Amino acid sequence: MVKRDETRKVGAYEAKTYLPSLLDDVAAGQTITITKHGVPVATLSPIRANAETARVAAAELKKFRRDHRLSGIAVRELIEEGRQR
């Protein structure tokens, strides 16, 4: 068994033959490098984003907007200025 943080290497033929099993391993957190003739060509890795990550990012953006206000200029003016360039 390969440790969770360790990258496992499999050949292209094995990857093709056992893809469903490899995807189960990736869903469990493992990263798999696919090789062709011993040369790495692709990596299967788990998607790290989730709903909580999105909520945290949205909260950080709202906080940034509260702390960084535009004073004396409207967003519409900035848009128009950008179009003129």
Which is higher by pLDDT, 54 or 1? 54
CB atoms within 10 A of CB 14: 14
Residue whose structure tokens are 């090789």: 35
pLDDT tens-digit map of 6-43: 789 999 999 999 999 999 999 998 999 999 999 999 99
Mean predicted confidence (pLDDT) in 42-48: 89
